[in-house]
Amino acid sequence: MELLRPHIIERHARQLRHQRGEPELTRRQWEILRLVASGSTNRQAARALQLSERTVTKHLENIYLRLNVQSRTEAIRAAGMHTLAG
């Protein structure tokens, strides 16, 4: 049962996000989007998460696809994070 606990918790969290109408993003994508919403550049987000800048850029591209948007600002709004951005 201990091995299943993290999976059960994550599944429950996904269901709650879905019920609230939040977009379906990975944990890492949410981390990056939060940093972007708080004003971080790709380079700053990469340093904060110990990733390459290219990896952050790729995550953002995937976020845009999932949210059907074309910019950082649109992604922040689509994710309901506009209050963090300004």
More confident of the two residues 40 and 85: 40
Would you say 57 and 71 are in contact if contact means Cβ atoms under 8 Å apart? no
Instruction: Quote the distance between the C-alpha of residue 58 and its chain's center.
Output: 12
Give residue 86's pLDDT band: very low, low, confident or very high (50, 70, 90).
Answer: very low
CA gap 59, 33 in Å, rounded: 9
Would you say 68 and 60 are in contact if contact means Cβ atoms under 8 Å apart? no
Q: Which residues of 28-41 are buried (b: 16+ CB within 10 A; e: fewer)?
A: ebbbbbebbbeebe
pLDDT at 50: 97
pTM greater than 0.85 (yes/no): no
How many secondary structure helices (H) and strands (E) does the chain include?
6, 0
* pLDDT, tens digit (0-9, with 9 covering 90-100), for 32-67: 999 999 999 999 999 999 999 999 999 999 999 999
